[in-house]
């Protein structure tokens, strides 16, 4: 049976990019495979974050998981920091990752490029090792993520292959699952950059109200032309809005082009805003109900217990395989 696993790190307010690239797809797997979705709170420490902000973001991501339709009866939902096996396995498998391949990780290069060498924490460098541990602990076969995380899953695959070559068939080889539309939503103010919660310029946040959403879409950067057609290089702004629209409506880019033949940008932007508002309003209502219900802690506690049982089996297998002495 397949096991699907993914996570979001609570580094900031969730964006429409997180929703379309990842969150919205998570519940699709819970009826067809074993589904494990967690909050990567240890990964959120890799860049400076205030304790109260981290706490609030963590609660929010958990509530958004449930609001998106994850059902704790079908999906194991938990906090990474509550399952100690993640950190332990990360310490072990880090020994099989090479400095060269780690230094080539795009996310590390991007996130550390504007930091002073003297103040780059080790965690941002070793980030993909912890992520590999997250994945292999549960024998995950499918990892639904946005485009930017594909390289990290590839690194995990390399580690698995290397480890198994040394010790036998111990770890399971995962595959990334990237959405065909919506895998990389761009910033509304600079459509050459990824919409990102830790760099909140040109973001739509999942908590934004209707008025804010409409205002942000209507003022999204576009080009000087007027026709709604897809051209990522020359028309990145309008192409990004088309991607958003196609993704929400579950249609192709060609369908969007057909629908808006002869329409101007104003008409098209209004339709995009309508689509986002229609999608997010019920979702935001569910989010508020979940926060009010006070159910979250119980879900997270039960999830951690279930996760820990699975994780422990893999950790023990690894310890034995590599020769850590087993006291009887
Ligand atoms: P940060 O800005 O802190 O790096 P982020 O906004 O990139 O965060 P993550 O927590 O790294 O978000 O990602 C959670 C999930 O959302 C991942 O699967 C990631 O690929 C996906 N994702 C993030 N941003 C986008 C985006 N702009 N478009 C599509 N998917 C995205
Ligand atoms: N790095 C991921 C979050 C993450 C993750 C994982 C995703 C941490 N561990 C394991 C899939 C599988 C991100 O979205 N930034």
Digitized pLDDT (tens) for each residue of the chain, 328 residues in all? 899 999 999 999 999 999 999 999 999 999 999 999 999 999 999 999 999 999 999 999 999 999 999 999 999 999 999 999 999 999 999 999 999 999 999 999 998 888 887 888 999 999 999 999 999 999 999 999 999 999 999 999 999 999 999 999 999 999 999 999 888 999 999 999 999 987 778 999 999 999 999 999 999 999 999 899 999 999 999 999 999 999 999 999 999 999 999 999 999 999 999 999 999 999 999 999 999 999 999 999 999 999 999 999 999 999 999 999 989 8
328 is catalytic: no
111 is catalytic: yes
Number of Cβ within 10 Å of residue 147's Cβ equals 15
Report the candidate in 287, 269, 131 with the shortest Cα–Cα distance to residue 206: 287
Structure tokens at 311: 């994780």
Ligand 2 contact, 41 CB (< 6 A): no
Residue with tokens 């959120």: 44
| Closest atom of ligand 1 relative to the 196 alpha carbon | 6
| Closest atom of ligand 2 relative to the 22 alpha carbon | 14
Structure tokens at 145: 């993520």
Report the candidate in 8, 89, 58, 143 with the shortest Cα–Cα distance to residue 312: 89
Number of Cβ within 10 Å of residue 200's Cβ equals 13
Question: Regarding the domain delimited by 210-289, which CATH topology (the fold level of the hierarchy) does it fall under?
Answer: Tyrosyl-Transfer RNA Synthetase (1.10.240)
**Domain residue ranges in the chain:** 3-183+294-322, 210-289
Q: For ligand 1, which residues put their CB under 6 angstroms from it?
A: 8-9, 11-12, 15, 17-18, 20-22, 145-146, 148-149, 183-185, 194-198
Distance CA 266, CA 222 (A): 11
Number of Cβ within 10 Å of residue 69's Cβ equals 16
Domains 3-183+294-322 and 210-289 share a fold: no
118 is catalytic: no
Superfamily of domain 3-183+294-322 in the CATH hierarchy: HUPs (3.40.50.620)
């Amino acid at each position: 049976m397949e096991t699907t696993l993914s996570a979001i790190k609570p580094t900031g307010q969730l964006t429409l990019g997180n929703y379309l690239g990842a969150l919205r797809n998570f519940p699709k797997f819970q009826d067809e495979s074993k589904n494990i979705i967690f909050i990567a709170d240890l990964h959120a420490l890799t860049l400076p974050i205030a304790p109260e902000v981290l706490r609030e973001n963590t609660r929010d991501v958990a509530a958004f998981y449930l609001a998106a339709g994850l059902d704790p009866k079908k999906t194991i939902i938990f906090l990474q920091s509550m399952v100690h096996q993640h950190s332990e396995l990360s310490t072990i498998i880090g020994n099989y990752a090479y400095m060269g391949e780690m230094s080539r990780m795009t996310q590390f290069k991007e996130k550390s490029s504007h930091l002073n060498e003297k103040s780059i924490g080790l965690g941002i460098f070793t980030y993909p090792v912890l992520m590999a541990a997250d994945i292999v602990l549960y024998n995950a076969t499918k990892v639904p993520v946005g485009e930017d995380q594909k390289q990290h899953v590839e690194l995990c695959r390399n580690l698995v292959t290397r480890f198994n070559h040394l010790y036998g068939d111990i770890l399971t080889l995962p595959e990334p699952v990237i959405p065909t539309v919506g895998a990389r939503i761009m910033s509304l103010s600079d459509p050459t950059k990824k919409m990102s919660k830790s760099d909140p310029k040109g973001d739509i946040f999942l908590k934004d109200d209707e008025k804010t959403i409409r205002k942000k879409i209507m003022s999204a950067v576009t080009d000087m032309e007027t026709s709604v057609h897809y051209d990522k290089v020359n028309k990145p702004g309008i192409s990004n809005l088309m991607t958003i629209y196609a993704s929400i409506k579950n249609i192709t880019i060609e369908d969007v082009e057909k629908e808006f033949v002869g329409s101007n940008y104003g008409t098209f932007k209004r339709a995009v805003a309508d689509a986002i508002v229609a999608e997010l309003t019920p979702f935001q209502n569910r989010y508020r109900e979940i926060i009010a219900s006070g159910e979250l802690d119980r879900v997270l506690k039960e999830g951690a217990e279930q996760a820990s049982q699975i994780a422990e089996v893999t950790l023990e297998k690894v310890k034995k395989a590599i020769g850590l002495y087993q006291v009887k």
